[in-house]
């Protein structure tokens, strides 16, 4: 079908109308000379961090003790530069937003602060690897279908989500804006598992199957906890101040103690709710109050009835 030139002549006017909305609605556009973190660069950083955490399983193969130092050193050097830039951008934007400044206003040296935080973040890698080793082992110990640790590292979405969470959590602890949520939501889109970087999760954590799991920002999870698909560790209500604004610093999500198992589609809600150690929450159960240790919670279901098809 031939293009109607007269219709295309309307495009400049349409463009002007779209651009007019950028001044009318300024809350959903970012214009100026102070760039935000790049989602493409941030996700590349996350991928390269996985290369460091699990060497030999990702992009570069044929690694051995003779060449791994060079490979990891090259990655660390590149990550340092990219992290410095992206963290500086996030810090600058957050500072400007909170203080209502423009790019030309005098501001701290965010490049220097970004470099310091980048080094601090990279220095957590040995500790993160030790934590992830416990998570991989917990997955193997908790899933009889697992064929080995290699299979878990290659294939398990729960480990993928927890890996990114552990990286995002360290950035969150360093008070880096935006970037922790950017990589968390990237992992959420890939795995169907939503873990807020503010949550606190101990060692030997395993999410089996995983799709639909939600773990809120103020959730506290101890060691050797196992979750199945569809589990929600969420908020029961949101406290507000006298002006009706949400109080964002309150504890809104539950505490899960050691050696707890929560089965598929169970819901545990509330900042004062604690699931005691060695407890089991059955599939589909909804829990809104604390459960003492060594407790099994199950959902009473109607009797299943069967009859011959006519």
**What secondary structure does DSSP assign to 186-217, as a single string?**
HHHHHHS-EE-TT-EE-SS-EESS-TT-EE-T
Residue 142 lies inside a defined structural domain of this protein: yes
With 60 as the cut, is the pLDDT of residue 1 above it? no
What is the reported pLDDT for 310?
A: 67
Pair 213, 227: CB distance under 8 Å = yes
Task: Provide the 8-state DSSP code for 27.
Answer: G
Q: Which of 133, 157, 192 is the last residue of a domain?
A: 192
Q: Residues 217, 157: one domain? A: no
Residue 125 lies inside a defined structural domain of this protein: yes
Give dist(CA 244, CA 241) in Å, integer: 5
Residue 89 lies inside a defined structural domain of this protein: yes
Q: Which of 170, 192, 214 is the last residue of a domain?
A: 192
What is the reported pLDDT for 296?
A: 97
Phi-psi region of 309 (alpha: psi -120 to 50; beta: other; left: phi over 0): beta
Pair 170, 124: CB distance under 8 Å = yes
User: Within 10 A of 220 (CB to CB), how many other CB atoms are there?
Assistant: 17
Q: Which of 97, 91, 85 is nearest to 32 (CA)?
A: 97
Mean pLDDT in residue range 86-92:
97
Q: Residues 177, 43: one domain? A: yes
With 80 as the cut, is the pLDDT of residue 5 above it? no
Q: Which of 219, 215, 217, 288 is nearest to 248 (CA)?
A: 217
Quickly state the pLDDT bin for 2 (edges 50, 70, 90). low
pLDDT digits (tens, 9 = 90+) for 231-286: 999 998 777 787 878 777 789 999 999 999 999 999 999 999 999 999 999 999 99
**Residues listed for the chain:** 310
pLDDT digits (tens, 9 = 90+) for 184-241: 999 999 999 999 999 999 999 999 999 999 999 999 999 999 999 999 999 987 777 8
What is the reported pLDDT for 3?
A: 65
Tell me the two tokens of residue 280.
Answer: 């089991």
Average pLDDT of every residue of the chain? 94
What is the reported pLDDT for 6?
A: 81
Q: Which domain holds residue 154?
A: 33-192
Among 58-72, 78-92, 117-131, 182-196, the range scoring the smallest mean pLDDT is 58-72
Number of structural domains, the chain?
2
Q: Residues 100, 154: one domain? A: yes
Among 57-61, 108-112, 139-143, the range scoring the smallest mean pLDDT is 57-61
CATH code at 221?
Answer: 2.160.10.10
Q: Residues 41, 188: one domain? A: yes
What is the reported pLDDT for 203?
A: 98
User: Whole-model pTM?
Assistant: 0.92
CATH code at 152?
Answer: 1.10.3130.10
Q: Residues 177, 213: one domain? A: no
**Strands ordered across the beta sheet of 214-215:** 194-195, 214-215, 232-234, 267-269, 286-287
Give dist(CA 282, CA 268) in Å, integer: 11
Residue 146 lies inside a defined structural domain of this protein: yes
What is the reported pLDDT for 106?
A: 79
User: Within 10 A of 23 (CB to CB), how many other CB atoms are there?
Assistant: 9
């Amino acid at each position: 079908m031939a293009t109607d030139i007269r219709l295309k002549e309307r495009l400049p006017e349409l463009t002007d109308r779209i651009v007019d909305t950028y001044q009318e609605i300024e809350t959903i556009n970012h214009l100026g000379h102070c760039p935000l973190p790049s989602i493409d660069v941030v996700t590349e950083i996350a991928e390269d961090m996985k290369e460091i955490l699990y060497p030999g399983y990702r992009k570069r193969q044929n690694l051995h003790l003779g060449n791994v130092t060079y490979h990891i050193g090259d990655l660390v050097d590149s990550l340092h530069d990219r992290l410095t830039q992206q963290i500086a951008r996030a810090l600058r934007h957050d500072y400007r937003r909170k203080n209502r400044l423009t790019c030309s206003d005098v501001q701290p040296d965010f490049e220097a602060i970004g470099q310091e935080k980048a080094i601090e973040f990279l220095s957590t890698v040995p500790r993160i690897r030790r934590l992830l080793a416990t998570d991989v082992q917990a997955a193997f110990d908790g899933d009889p279908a697992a064929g080995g640790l290699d299979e878990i590292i290659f294939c398990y979405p729960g480990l993928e989500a927890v890996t990114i969470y552990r990286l995002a959590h360290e950035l969150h602890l360093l008070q880096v804006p935006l970037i922790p949520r950017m990589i968390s939501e990237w992992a959420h889109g890939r795995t169907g598992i939503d873990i807020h970087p503010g949550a606190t999760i101990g060692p030997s954590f395993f999410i089996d199957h995983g799709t639909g799991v939600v773990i809120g920002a103020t959730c506290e999870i101890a060691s050797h906890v196992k979750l199945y698909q569809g589990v929600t560790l969420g908020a029961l209500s949101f406290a507000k101040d006298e002006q009706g604004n949400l109080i964002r610093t309150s504890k809104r999500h539950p505490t899960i103690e050691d050696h707890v198992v929560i089965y598929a589609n169970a819901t545990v809600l509330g900042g004062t709710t604690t699931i005691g150690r060695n407890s089991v929450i059955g599939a589909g159960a909804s829990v809104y109050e604390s459960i003492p240790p060594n407790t099994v919670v199950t959902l009473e279901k109607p009797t299943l009835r069967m009859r011959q098809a006519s």
